[in-house]
Each structure stands twice: as C-alpha cells, then as structure tokens.
Structure 1
Amino acid sequence: MLENLLIENFAIIEKVALQFDSGMSVLTGETGAGKSIIIDALMMLTGGRGSSDMIRHGSKKAVLQAVFSIPQNKSLINQLNEQGIEISDGELIIYRELKHNGRSLIRINGVVVSLKMLSSIGRQLVDIQGQNDTQQLLNSDEHLPLLDAYGGNELLVTKQAYQEIFNDFRSITQRIRRVQTSQQEITQRLDLLQFQQQELADADLQANEEEDLLDARGKLLNYKKIADRLQRAQLTLSGEDGGAVDRLAESMQALQEIAEYDDNYADLASTIADSYYAAQEVSRDVDEQISDLTYDEAELVRIDERLQLIHSLERKYGTTVADVLIFKQKVDKELSMKDNDELDVEQLQVRQNNLRQVLRKQAIKLREVRQKVARELEQAINQQLNELLMVGAEFEVHFDQIEGFVSSGTDNVEFYVQTNVGEGMAPLVKIASGGETARLMLAIKTAFTKQQHIISIVFDEADTGVSGRVAQAIAKKMLTIAADSQVFAITHLPQVAAAATHHFLIAKVAENERTVTQVTPLDEIGRERAIAMMLSGENITKTALANARDLRREAKSNR
C-alpha cells in the first residue's frame, strides 16, 4: 500500500508530507482547493508525463516521493529484480524531480530508471479511476482487452496458443504475397547469392593468406639485395682471411689463458665465449639462408595474380580478407535459409490452408473459453449492480464473429446493458447516464480488483451524479474494494466521506501573499465538521452537524 507521499513545489503546493494507512481514505475540500493536484502528483510518481508547467512558480524544481509497502506480487518483484532494484524491508521508494528544462530524474530505491519503466511498474502499484477510465469503459474497442484481463490462466494459455498459430499463419501469408509480387526480384537475389557463393568458394581464401603472400613477394622482388647482404654478412663472420668468428676465438683463448689469475679475467673470458658461440650459430644460420635463397619468376607471377584476386574480392565484399570471409558466411547462411518452396507458391498455399484449418479450430476454442469467462463476468457485475441499487439493471457481453483472423482472435466483443426492466439490452455507450456509468465502472472495478492485484486504487470523483441511498451503496462498495486494495476517493458526497476509515481535508489558503494548498488529516470531531460542511456549506448548522454525526454513527455500525 501507499504509506507516505511527499510533494514539494508542485502546482500550488509548497510542501505536503502525508502518511496513509490501509482501508479507505477520502480527500474532501472545496472545488479548486487542490484535491486533483494530489492525484496528479501520484500520477507523476507512477509514470505520468510531466511538464515544467507543474513546477510551483518561483521554484527551481518540483520534488515528489512515494513510499509503498510491497506485498508478495511475484510479477512485480521479478520486474524489479530484472532492473537491479532491491527491496529492503518490503518497501519501494519512488522519487521524481521535475525541472524547468523538461527533464525529470526518476529513482526507484535509489536506482535511476526511465519514464517507461516507471510507468510499467506504476501500473501494478496504483490504479487511478477517473474520467479517462470512464471513457475507456465507453470505448467498445477496449471491451475485449477488459474481458481477457478478467480471464484466468485457462484463457491466457488458450489465447497464447492461438497467437502462436496466428503468427505462423501470418508469416506464411506474407511470404506468399511477397513471392507473388516479387518473383523476379527473388530469382535475381538467388542468382546473385549463388554467384557470390561460387566465386568465394573458388577463391578459397585463408585467414592470413594476404600477409604471407606480401612477405613472399617482397623477398622475390628484393632477391639480389637480399643475396648480396647475406653473402657480405657471411664474409664478415667467416671470411677466408679471417672473420669475426676467428677474431672472437683468438680473444676467447687469450683471456682463458689468464683467467686463473683474476676473477675479472675469467668473467671477460666467459662473456667472449658466449659471443663466440653465438657468432658461430649466426654464421651457420646465414649459410642456411643463402642455401635456401632462390629466385622463381613463375612464383612471383602466381603471387601477383593471387594478390590481384584477393584485392578484387576485397573491393567487392570487404576491406580485408577477414571482412570477405565474414561476408561469405552471411551468403552461405542466407542461402541455407532459403527454402526451395519459397519459389513454389502452390506448396506455400498448401501449408497456408493447413494452418488456416488449425487456426480456425483454435479460434473456436478461444471463443468458447471467452464466452465462459464472459458468463462469469456477467454474473459478478450483475451482483455488484444489484448491491449498488441498480434494480432491474443487467449487464451482458455480446460476441460477434469477424471475417478472417486478427491477432486477438475472431471475436468482436461489446458490453451491453439494460438499466431498467423492459427497456431491452443496448450498447453501454448509448444508454448509460453519468451516475449509471459511475456505478457501472464501480461494479466492474469491484469485479476486477482481486484478479488485478493492484496495491492502491484511486477514485477521482467517480461518484459524480449520484446521491441518497445510491451514494451509501457506492460508499459500501468502495469499502468492499478496500478489503483487498487500499482505496483513495476524492468525493463531494457526505455518505462516502462518512464511510471512509480515514479522512483528509484539502484547503487553499494564502500565506505571504502566495496561494498554497494544505492537507490536514482529520480526527473524529474534524470529520464531523467536514461532513457537515459538505451537507450545508460554509456555515455549518446544528442540523447539518447532527446529520454528520448520524452518518458517522451509521457508517461505524455497518462495518
């Protein structure tokens, strides 16, 4: 549930810090006092879009913060864990700043998140019922999603099975259309891929081939220079007139003859010995290099031709041999994925017809499960309508079959209602008055509450257009919802205010030549006066105060 709400420099609110409990809380006050601002702040904290206009005049930024206690909602906890958001002591702290540059900072338990992620999480925390929700109820396009949301696991599994088949059917249908309209283009593409595959296969490029060829070419082109330098090195090391190896041998022998007289002489002899043996090894290696050195003009031609082929392929398919090899892999993969039947429309159509039959059967199964859920929903809502004193009212879910297949099935669903006996069923949008719509929305919300596992529900003047016994019935129904979810209600009805377990008074006052909104939690005496004001206006009469006490007494006795 929502435990704490902090609002700073938001609209006309300078600073408000509120604490909430479970059950049902009402927010009352005169029109324009700022009741809706509280709800707007809660909307911003659960993913609503903000703007710099919401920042209090003269302030640098608006700060909003909410603390929720989180129940064992597996879906919500998994979503939080995926974002690296840890829950400490079962609390979720949402913090949001609105700035003049239009940007907002959002943190959940200290982790910075996007507005999209906040909205996704917020939908599982708070459900705000207001004018927009009434419009959703009166929009027949929303009726099928509402029905599906009410269905249990059986409907979900059946719908997912249908959608898997539908996706396969749609995919093959698109392939047929693509083949039929682009036969020549596909053939040309296949020809190109096959040519590229053959050309690259014939080339048989190796990963380090270009570097090895360039090294070999460099040796052949510089054969004379290399041979001359190797021979000069060999003469210097081991010439007939005595080379470096012989000179090192003489030096080594001379120092070895005096090594016994001084350790320094011994070290010098050892160092010269190392150099002598190293020079001998180098001399042998140079001899081998001279013996191996050959000049093959045909090999140079072959290398040049091979490099020319490699450079040609690099111009076509990539800047390096590695790039060309990657391109070859892509060509091979694309060709391997090309089914032979892609060019055979008849075979594709056979597969499409087979899928159509399977899809039709699954659509019928989905409709049967939906109709079962619809009967359950009708029973639940009709019971709620009866408890909301809509005697003779009846709610039905009407099904029409559409032509073809769409991702949601083959059902067109619309809510119908009869508000008075004998008037007949008609689409909800055509016959519901304001008060009736409010009660219908409340009946539906009561039916949906347990399935949706929403932590907190806000009714923003959802009781508009009713009074008397109906108002008492609405109050009782909100209390019923509050048994499963925390409820907040902005109301002008004294019956609803009297029934709530907690009452907050919203007032607009002037401080230091500025208008600010104050929110005050009321004790029992304060509640009686606030309810009396709702009954009689600003001048509270004794009769209104007595009526307020009666309403409170009755509300307590009915709990």
Structure 2
Amino acid sequence: MLAELTIKNFAIIEELTVSFEKGLTVLTGETGAGKSIMIDAVSLLVGGRGSSEFVRYGEKKAELEGLFLVPADHPVFALCEEQGIDASDEMMILRRDINNSGKSICRINGKLVTISLLREVGRLLLDIHGQHDNQLLMEDENHLHLLDQFGAEDIAPALLQYQEAYDQYMKTAQKLRQLSENEQEMVHRLDLLQFQLEEIEAAQLEPGEDEKLQEERHQISNYEKIYSSLQNAYNALRNEQGGLDWVGMSSSELEQVSEINDDLKKLSEQVSNSYYLLEDSTFQMRSMLDQLEFDPARLDFIESRLNEMKQLKRKYGTTVEEILEYAAKIEEEIDQIQNRDSHLQTLKNKLDAMSRDALLEALNVSELRKKWAKKLAKQIQTELKDLYMEKSSFDTAFSVRYAPFGSTDCPLLDGKPVQLGKNGIDQAQFVISTNTGEPMKSLSKVASGGEISRVMLAVKSIFSAKQDVTSIIFDEVDTGVSGRVAQAIAEKIYKVASGSQVLCITHLPQVAAMADTHLFISKRSKAGRTLTSVKPLSHEEKVSEIGRMIAGVEVTELTKQHAKELLHQANDVKTTG
C-alpha cells in the first residue's frame, strides 16, 4: 500500500505530506482545490510522462516521494534484485525530481534508475484509473494475460508445458536459419573454422599440459638453489659424524635398556623409527641429486611451448581444456557445413515434428482459455447486474494468430500456417454489448461515461484479487452516474478496497459515505500565492462535507440529516458485507 506521499513545489502545491491507510480512502473538495493534481503527482511518481509545466512557478524543481509498504512475496522484489536495487524490510521508496528544464531524476530506495525502470516498478505497485484513461484493463493487448491470470490454476501448467516445447522449436528454427543463410557467407565461415581447427590441432595440446610445463619451468629456473639445498641436507645427514650416525648411536644406546621398562621401550622405538625415516629420506635425496640436471635447451623449449599456448588462449579459451572444447565445437560445425544438405533435411524434419508438438500444446492451452473465458463472462455479468447493467453481455473474442502466406517453417492449422508465440497461438479481446440487440465491441469502444465507469468497476472487481498491485486509484470514475447506480458503484468500490488499498477522488456522496478514511482537500491564498492542504475529517466533519456534496454551497440541517442517513446506510453495508 501507499503509506505516505510527499509533494513539494508541484503545480499549486508548495509542500504537502499525506499519510494513507488501508481500505478505502476518498479525497473530496471543491473543484480546482488540487485533487487531480495529487493524482497527477502520484502518476508521475510511478513513471508517468513529466513536464516542466508541473514545476511550481518560480521554483527550480518539483520533488515527489512515496513510501510503499509491500508484502515480502511481492514480485516487485524479484525485479529489484534483478536490477541490483536493495529492497529489504518490505518497504519501497520511490522518488522523482523534475527540473524546470523538464529533465527528471528518478530513484528507487535511493538508487538512481531510468524512467522506464521506475515505470516498470510503478506498474507493479499502483494502478491508476481515470474515466477515459487507457488503462491496463481497457487495453486489448493485456486481455490474454489477464485471462491467463484468472484461470491460472489450469492455464499456467499447460502454458508452461507449451513454452518448453516452443523454446525447443525456436532453438531448432534458429539452427535451421543459420544453416540456410547465404552460401558465400557459409564458404567464408568454413574457411575460418578450418584455419582455426588446423591451428589448434597443429599444437597437439594435451589436457593439463600447461600446468605441468609451468611447474617444470619453475624447477629448472631454480636448479642451483634446489641442488645446493639437497646437497647440504644430504651431507648434514650422511657425512662422517653426520646427523644420521648420531641418531643411529642414540638408537643403539636406547635399545640396550629398552627391556627395563615400558617407557624406555617406547622411547627406543620412536628413535629407531626416526632413524629409518631419516635413512629413507637420504636415499631419496641421493636419487634426486643423481636425476637433477640443468638443461638450458629444455628451458627454451618450455618457454616456447608456453608462449604458443598463450597465443592460442588469447583466441580460443582461457585454459587448454577450453581450447580443446572449442576445437570439438567447430569440428562439429565444419561437419554441418560440409554436409549442409543432409543436415538441412534432418533439421527440417526435426522442426516439423517439434512444430506439430508445440501446436498440440498450444491448442490445449486454447481450450483451457475458452473454458475459463466462459467462467469469467459469467462472473462479470453478475457484477454488471449488481451495477444495474443487467442487459449487458460480456465475452472474450478469440482469434488465431496466423503466419504470413507462404511461411514454410510454421505448423498448419486447417491448412493455414500458424504463428507460434511465447503465449501460444491465441489473440484475445474482451468485448461487451451494453444493450440488448447491440453488437459486441471492445471495452475501449464503450461510449457512455457512466457505462465506462461501471464496466471498469465490474472488471476490476474480478481482477483486483488476481493482480499484484498493492494500491488502486480511482480518479472520478463515478462521473456520469447518480441515484441507485451511484450507490451500486460505491459498494463496488468498497468491495475492491477489501482486497487492495483504494484511493478515490469522487463527487458522489454515496462513495464518500463508504470511506474508511475521508481526506478533504482545500486551497487558500497566502502572500499572493495559492496553497493546497489536505485534512483528515472527523465524523462530524464528514457529515458536513457529505452534506455539501449533496446540496452544494448551502448546507442545511435537513441536508446534514440526509448525510447522516447515508453514513448509517454505508455502515450497514460494511457490517453485513
């Protein structure tokens, strides 16, 4: 949820900090007080299009900052982690500064980000709906995804299975395209690969050879030091009156008394063992001295060999093993190019089989979507009936995404090539008829303002639980309705607020009466400048404000009584819920 919003030097707002609560919060006030300006500020905060015109006159920049409280399992955290943004403590702070030159500086949890990333994060946190806004639910290209969300328990596993088949199909299709490319380019590619393979094979590399040579080089380079130390160590032990003679003498003396007690026996054994270990070490030293030799020619060979490997590593891999792996890879590619025709036919056959498998999985996804589309239509028509649009009909119009005529690597459906995509072969569009006898048409083509409001609320009532947004803003979506329809809209907005935080700008007293929190927005003049302020209303202040919304300028006792009745009725709706 949006917990706090800070606005500074934005339009007519000098400085304003507003705290928001869970549930339904309504914002009311006189026309021009700044209600829509606050929504503009929130829209810009989550990535909306900015302009220098939003900067308060005479100031250098406008500053917007919002604190969002987000559950730990929300998908926004995965996105932030992917982008290297620290997002702990289940909080997100979005900030945007707009300079009077029109440039924006965006931050998420203190890290500078692009406007596109701010927008991507913002869409996961907050959904803004205005009467004529081209929003998520009203955009045709989003309907397939929304339907998949609605029927996720069945559709998601089937879609995953299709996508696995689709990925294999796409990889094979890419291989086929690469092998079918311009013949002259293939000849040039073959020449290059053959040169590379010959260069690697000529080196006759062995796995781990470079490490062994480096070790040998190190030994030859330290020949004098090794020889001197070995010789001195050997002489210290083996020369007349050397260490080994004295240890042998010690062992003989102890052996003579070893049977007297256990401690002497153990001590005798220890010294005796040490003698034999030292004697064995001297044999090893002698052997190493006999084998040790300084070979300048061998050192030159090693240096030359290691330099050759270094040149190959610069081209083909960081280790000898990687170079050999690369050689095996290009050897396979050379074979494919040299035997291009047979490989092409094999790949074509493989692609045909994969495309048919993917199409079968896609058709299964399509059937599940159509099944869930019927359930969705039934639920939305129930919602529309609650909003006094009982003559409306809702449906999902499906069409198949066909490939251009003449496509050769696409599967056929009813004799026509089908364009496989990441989400299958379907195109889906939510359609509605608002009156008996009228043709079905896209949601975006609904003409009446009052109908737009009700259709949007009906759809939103279904999808608010399916979407991950933590906050929803309704900006005067109740325009063009009154009477019983206004009451139905108020109850529907409250229902949406039970699953998400809802902020609603309204002119309807019925909606205001349903609020959990009522904020009153007003403006005043100070030193020749207009200032906007926001005030949470007490119960008595709510009565007066709802009375103003009912009657206009003059609020009478009768109007206040009517306002109290509205609040009482709203409380009954909430408690019976």
Structure 1: which amino acid aligns with 2:434?
T
Match of 1:35 in 2: 35
Q: Does 1:433 align with 2:448?
A: yes
Match of 1:398 in 2: 397
Offset at residue 350 of structure 1 (A): 0.4
Q: Decide whether aligned partners of structure 1 residues 55 and 551 sit closer, same or farther in structure 2, where only a CA change above 3 A counts.
A: same
1:332 aligns with 2:327: yes
Distance 2:336 2:201 in 1: 25
2:106–2:115 Cα contact (<8 Å) kept = no
Does structure 1 residue 157 correspond to structure 2 residue 157? yes
Correspondence for 1:217? none
Deviation at 1:198, TM superposition (A): 0.8
Contact 1:127/1:454 (<8 A) preserved? yes
In structure 1, what is the Cα distance between the partners aligned to 2:564 and 2:389?
27
Aligned to 1:64: 64
1:443 shift after superposition? 0.7
Cα deviation, residue 136, structure 1: 4.7
Match of 1:467 among 478, 482, 487: 482
Query: Counterpart of 1:230?
Result: none
How far did 1:34 drift?
1.5
**1:461 Cα offset (Å):** 1.5
Could you tell me the TM-score, scaled by structure 1's length?
Answer: 0.73
Q: Compute the displacement of 1:516 (Å).
A: 1.9
Q: Provide Cα deviations, 1:520-558, integer angstroms capped at 9, x if missing partner.
A: 222233223323333333344555444333322322232
Q: Is the 8 A contact 1:207 1:321 kept in 2?
A: no
Letter in 2 for 1:192: L
What CA distance in whole angstroms lies between the structure 2 residues aligned with 1:292 and 1:163? 64
Give the Å deviation of 1:511: 1.2
Secondary structure in 1 aligned to 2:534?
strand
Distance 1:122 1:429, change over 3 A: closer
Q: Distance in 2 between matches of 1:520 and 1:113?
A: 33
Could you list the per-position Cα deviations for residues 318-339 of structure 1 after superposition, in whole angstroms to 9, with x for gaps in the alignment?
Answer: 9899999899668526515628
Alignment check: 8 A CA contact 1:64 1:97 kept = yes
From the CA coordinates, give the structure whose radius of gyration is larger: 1
8 Å contact 2:5–2:66 — kept in the other structure?
yes
Cα distance, 1:146 vs structure 2: 2.3
CA RMSD across the alignment:
4.0
Q: Tell me the secondary structure at the aligned position of residue 401 of structure 2.
A: strand
SS at match of 2:464: helix
Aligned with 1:550 (options 537, 558, 565): 565
Once the two structures are superposed, what CA deviation does each residue of 1:397-433 show, in whole Å capped at 9, x if it has no partner?
A: 1222332122321112122222223445444444552
Q: CA deviation at 1:458?
A: 0.6
**Structure 2 contact 63–96 (Cα < 8 Å) conserved:** yes
Point out the more displaced range, 23-32 or 328-337.
328-337
Segments of 5+ residues of structure 2 without an aligned counterpart are 215-292, 403-417
Which range moves more in the overlay, 439-448 or 529-538?
A: 529-538
In 1, the alpha carbon distance for the partners of 2:393 and 2:316 equals: 75
CA contact (8 A) 1:341 1:347 kept: no
**Structure-1 residue corresponding to 2:127:** 127
Give the AA of the match of 2:121.
Answer: I
Match of 1:172 in 2: 172
- How far has the Cα of 1:473 moved from its partner? 0.5
**Of the candidates 390, 400, 424, which is equivalent to residue 409 of structure 1?**
424
Partner secondary structure for residue 392 of structure 1: coil
Q: Is contact 1:381–1:447 with CA below 8 Å preserved after alignment?
A: yes
Displacement of 1:345 in angstroms is 1.7
> Aligned runs of 1:16-55 on 2, under 5 Å?
16-55=16-55
Q: Do 1:504 and 1:522's aligned partners in 2 also have CA atoms closer than 8 Å?
A: yes
Amino-acid identity (%): 36
Instruction: Indicate the residue corresponding to 2:373 in structure 1.
Output: 374
TM superposition shift of 1:166: 1.9
Shift of the 519–407 alpha-carbon distance from structure 1 to 2, 3 Å rule, reads same
Structure 1 residues 5, 322: closer, same or farther in 2, change over 3 A?
A: closer
Write out per-residue CA displacement over residues 112-163 of structure 1, whole angstroms, 9 at most, x where no aligned residue: 5554544443333222122565455444333222212323143223223222
The CA distance in 2 between the partners of 1:390 and 1:373, in whole Å, is 22
Map residues 3-402 of structure 1 onto 2, 5 A cutoff: 3-79=3-79, 83=84, 85=86, 87-88=88-89, 90-100=90-100, 102-108=103-109, 115-131=115-131, 133-134=133-134, 136-204=136-204, 332=327, 334-336=329-331, 338=333, 340-341=335-336, 343=340, 344-402=343-401
CA deviation after TM superposition for structure 1 residue 484, in Å? 1.3
Structure 1 contact 207–322 (Cα < 8 Å) conserved: no
Indicate if the aligned counterparts of 1:134 and 1:441 stay in contact, CA closer than 8 A: no
C-alpha contact 1:106 1:115 (8 A) present in aligned 2? no
Partners of 1:338 and 1:438 lie apart in 2 by: 61
Residue type at the aligned position of 2:523: K
Deviations 1:323-375 (A, max 9, x none): 99899668526515628456222111100110111011101111122122212
CA contact (8 A) 1:196 1:331 kept: no
Does the 8 A contact of 1:193 with 1:331 survive in 2?
no
Question: Residues 183 and 557 of structure 1: is their aligned pair in 2 closer, same or farther, counting only changes over 3 Å?
Answer: same
SS in 2 for 1:391: coil
Does the aligned pair in 2 maintain the 1:495–1:551 contact within 8 Å?
yes
Letter of the structure 2 residue corresponding to residue 477 of structure 1 = K
- Aligned residue identity for 2:155: L
Tell me which of 519, 523, 531 is aligned to 1:508. 523
1:446 alignment partner AA? S
Cα distance in 1 for partners of 2:172, 2:455 equals: 43
Q: Is the 8 A contact 2:131 2:449 kept in 1?
A: no
Q: 1:531 to 1:194 in 2, by over 3 A?
A: same
- Superposed counterparts of 1:458-537, under 5 Å: 458-537=473-552
CA deviation vs aligned residue, 1:454-500 (integer Å, no higher than 9, x gap): 32111111222222111110000011111111111111222212222
The structure-2 alpha-carbon separation of the partners of 1:337 and 1:504, relative to structure 1 and needing over 3 Å to count, comes to farther
What SS is found at the alignment partner of 1:18?
strand
**CA separation in 2, counterparts of 1:21 and 1:161?**
42
